């Protein structure tokens, strides 16, 4: 699939709201939450844009002093299974590595097997469980961690 990864901006808000609703239903972020995230400090948000301008996916990472957290990763239903989630994840990890981050954390719903598989294949390990993390559904979340090296060619 041919997409362009680029920084997310406020002009993407409408498409991101649609993508959030499609991917996360009642747990989707609101317009205000999306706008706060993509414009907030210490964050990198990327969109995957098709040649026709459609946003097919997006993701974001919050970067602290030595630890980062993947805040969200979403891919349109019609674009899944084509490597787009991996492209976004790899780009977010690269942003964290470039900032000198030593580890990347994330939470993922325990029943999202494709996402869990993606994270495991990228080198994340399951390090904990957050009960009733997602609201209002009450779904539990795995806490996952990826240790980073300064050189992306060095195995994790």
Any idea which residues carry the catalytic annotation? Answer: 107, 119
Alpha-carbon separation of residue 112 from 36, 50, 79, 144 (angstroms): 26, 25, 16, 13
C-alpha 139, offset from chain centre: 18
Cis before 136 (ω within 30): yes
Give the Cα separation of 1 and 130 in Å (integer): 34
Reference 61, options 45, 83, 48; nearest CA is 45
**∠ CA 79-84-90 to the nearest 5 degrees?**
165
**Which residues contact residue 64 at a Cβ distance below 8 angstroms, ignoring those fewer than 6 apart?**
42, 101
């Amino acid at each position: 699939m041919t997409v362009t990864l680029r920084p997310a901006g406020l002009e993407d808000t409408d498409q991101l709201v649609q993508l959030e609703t499609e991917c996360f239903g009642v747990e989707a972020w609101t317009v205000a939450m999306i706008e706060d995230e993509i414009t907030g400090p210490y964050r990198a948000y990327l969109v995957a844009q098709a040649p026709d301008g459609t946003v097919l996916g997006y993701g974001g990472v919050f970067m602290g002093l030595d630890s980062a957290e993947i805040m969200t990763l979403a891919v349109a239903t019609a674009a899944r299974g084509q490597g787009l989630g991996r492209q976004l994840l790899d780009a977010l990890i690269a942003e964290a590595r470039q900032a000198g981050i030593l580890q990347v954390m994330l939470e993922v719903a325990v029943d999202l097997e494709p996402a869990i598989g993606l994270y495991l294949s990228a080198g994340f390990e399951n390090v904990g469980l957050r009960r009733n993390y997602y609201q209002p559904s009450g779904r539990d979340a795995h806490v996952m961690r990826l240790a980073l090296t300064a050189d992306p060619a060095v195995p994790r």
